Amino acid sequence: MPDGLKGSQKAKLFSAMATNANRAYTVRLPAWGGPTEAPSVEASRGGGTGRRAGFKIRFPKGSGGSIPPSGTTPLVTNIMMNFCSYCGESVSRKTPHDDNRKRWVCDSCGRIHYQNPLPVVGCVPERDGKILLCKRAIEPRYGYWTVPAGFMELGESTVQGAARETREEACAEVEIGHLFAVVDVIDAGQIHLFYTAKLIGDFSAGHESLEVALFSEDEIPWDDIAFHSGRYALKKYFEDKGQNTGVHIHELRRSRS
C-alpha cells in the first residue's frame, strides 16, 4: 500500500480491493441493451484459469460463451471502477492528455487505469489422428466440449500457458507445436491464440472437466462445442491436415444491426 495515506483514503482503498486472497469479488460491467442478465468479471483466488481463475468472464445465458446475445450492446466497452487501486480516491471517465480515448483516471493522484483485451491461450492436442477434447465442468457453457484453453497467467509465455491449461483440464502433458489460429473476440475484450500440440502419455478429467476423450474428425460433437473460437480452431486444424500453412486469423463480433 502506498505510504502517507490518510485513514479515509485507506478505507476507500480497502473497499476497492479484495481484502483477503481467499475472498472473491466481482466487478460489474455496463448494463446490457436488452433484458438479459448483466455479465461480470470475477476475480478469485488461486493460479488457474478455470474454476481457480485469476479472472473469469461470466456470460449471460444464451450468449454462446464468447458473443453477446442478439439485440444487446457490446459486452466490453470498459470495466466499471469506483476507486483508484493505488490511492483509494475516486476515479472519473475522461480522456488523458495526449490520448485519444476515455480512460478511468484518479481524481486525486492522476493515475490512469488502462483496460486492455485479455489473452486466452489453448491448443489442439492430437494423437494417432484423434483430438483430445474436454467436457466443461464449469460455467460458462457447462457440459459443452472444448479444446484445452484459458486465460494466461502472469510470468508465463503463451506456449507455457497452453501447456498448463492442458494439464489443468485434462491432466495431460503435451508437446506444443506452432501457432495456427488467432481469434479476436471483440465484444468479450479477448484475443484467443491456438497452438498445435502432440499428446504425450495418459489423460484424465481434471477438476474443470466432467470428462475428456479422443475424437476423430468425423466424431467431433460440432453442435456441442462450447465456444465459437474453439470451433473455428478445430475446423482450421483439420483443414491444415497437420501442415504448417501459417496463422489463420478470424474476428468474432456481434452485428450492430
Instruction: Sketch out the chain's domains with CATH numbers.
Output: 118-252 (3.90.79.10)
DSSP string, 155-211: T--HHHHHHHHHHHHHS-EEEEEEEEEEEEEGGGTEEEEEEEEEEES-----TTEEE
Mean pLDDT on 165-192: 97
64: left (phi over 0), alpha (psi -120 to 50) or beta: left
Residue 223 DSSP label:
G
Residue 232: which H helix or E strand, with range? helix 228-240
pTM as predicted:
0.71
**What 3-state DSSP class applies to 60?**
coil
Q: Give the Cβ contact number of residue 217 at 10 Å.
A: 13
Q: Give the type of residue at 139.
A: E
Annotate 113-126 with b (16+ C-beta within 10 A) or e (fewer). Answer: eeeeebebbbbbbb
Residues 6+ apart with CB under 8 A from 243: none
pLDDT digits (tens, 9 = 90+) for 113-139: 998 999 999 999 999 999 999 999 999
- Please state, in angstroms and rounded to a whole number, the distance separating the CA atoms of residues 157 and 121: 10
- Please state, in angstroms and rounded to a whole number, the distance separating the CA atoms of residues 216 and 126: 9
Residue 79: pLDDT band by 50, 70, 90 thresholds? confident
pLDDT digits (tens, 9 = 90+) for 199-244: 999 999 999 999 999 999 999 999 999 999 999 999 999 999 989 9
